Structure 1
Amino acid sequence: MLWPFNHFRKPRKPSRGTIEAIYGMIVTQAREPLFYRDLGVPDTVNGRFDLLVLHLWMVLRRLKSVEGGADLCQTLFDCFCDDMDANLREMGVGDLTVPKRMQAFSEAFYGRAAAYDLALTDGLEPLAQALCKNILNGEQIENARRLAYYAETAITTLAGLDDATLQGASWRFPSPARVGPQQ
């Protein structure tokens, strides 16, 4: 006779280890030297941030479709925010400035995510244009096209994962060296 009360049960929160593993994979991929060396992504704080946002956006898009996806997405985004906060403090940004910078990070994430979502619905070239603007400072459209092809391949890879594999963090992003038309 307990079954009517199951809906009062709190939803199971994603484990901290799972979220940290997924976020660690995102950070590791965003630090891949090939992006900076071969695709012209500026090896700067902003360039690294932009690649991190791109990879986080791709994973969040996929996580939305799994059971409990909203909680997973929120917890992963919170992990990203905690990481950004810690990085700011490590770089010596003062306590009074951190909230303003965090708001700027959030706005940048949401703005880029909206631009990428919109561009993705229109095809590879609009995505390349959005990536060129946001990651490559409006320059190097050929590299932006290669980056768009990489993103499309990564999104396809993520879409092909079953939910358990995705949530178990037992997958890998494609190598940027192995996707896209080479120059």
Structure 2
Amino acid sequence: MLWPFNHFRKPRVPPRSTIETIYGMIVTQAREPLFYRDLGVPDTVNGRFDLLLLHLWLVLRQLKSAGAGADLSQALFDHFCVDMDDNLREMGVGDLTVPKRMQAFGEAFYGRTAAYDLALTDSDEALAQSLCKNILNGRDIDKARELATYARRAMAELSRVDLAALVQGGWRFPALQPAGEAA
């Protein structure tokens, strides 16, 4: 007799295609060559990871503020974790080492997102400092300022996307401008 009410107890898991679409957009943007060529992001495993975290943070932050719910955010984070696990295994990391590396990834994610959130409450310069430390290895504050400008522009553009388009992947990150071009 209670079967009509079962949907109240189950978490609503977003369709896998939705998660894959959104995550694919994050990965594609994090691989944009201009970040590495013009903004000084190290083209290394760590540099790519840090840029992926930045874009994941931007999207999760918008999902939270748009009221998309914890289920979608959690599913996106879980997909990120599976992707990181798969990448470690593809790189030849052994089964006994993967959990330790995954823990380090989790700590990096939570540490960086907390730092970025805190920097947003302070100033534009605070975000640039945080990005400089976490993505540019403490080098080139001018490039970090450009990266902070990009991040703020991405936040502004994401904030204009309605929830349905956000959930369906009907949006894009802002285009990066090559060095020397006006935005």
Give the TM-score range, shorter chain.
over 0.9
> 1:99/1:174 Cα in 2 relative to 1: closer, same or farther (>3 Å)?
same
- Unmatched 5+ residue regions in structure 1? none
- Unmatched 5+ residue regions in structure 2? none
SS at match of 2:173: coil
Report sequence identity in percent. Answer: 73
The answer to whether the aligner puts 1:60 opposite 2:73 as a matched pair is no
Kindly provide the CA deviation profile for residues 79-103 of structure 1, in whole angstroms up to 9, marking residues without a partner as x: 0000000000000000000000000
Task: Report the CA distance between 1:181 and its aligned residue.
Answer: 8.8
Equivalent-residue separation in structure 2 for 1:107 and 1:180 (angstroms): 36
Kindly provide the CA deviation profile for residues 43-69 of structure 1, in whole angstroms up to 9, marking residues without a partner as x: 000000000000000000011134452
2:143 maps to 143
TM-score (structure 1 length as normaliser): 0.92
Equivalent-residue separation in structure 1 for 2:7 and 2:19 (angstroms): 25
Moved over 2 A (4+): 4-12, 65-68, 178-182
SS at match of 2:65: coil
Q: Which amino acid aligns with 2:73?
A: C
The answer to whether the aligner puts 1:89 opposite 2:89 as a matched pair is yes
Number of residues of Structure 1 aligned to a counterpart in Structure 2: 180
Kindly provide the CA deviation profile for residues 21-55 of structure 1, in whole angstroms up to 9, marking residues without a partner as x: 00000000000000000000000000000000000
Give the conservation status (yes or no) of the 8 Å contact 2:68–2:163: no
1:154 maps to 154
Task: Report the CA distance between 1:10 and its aligned residue.
Answer: 2.7
Q: Which protein has greater RCO, CA pairs closer than 8 Å, 6+ apart?
A: 2
Q: Which amino acid aligns with 2:81?
A: C
- What is the RMSD of the two structures over their aligned residues, measured on CA atoms? 2.1
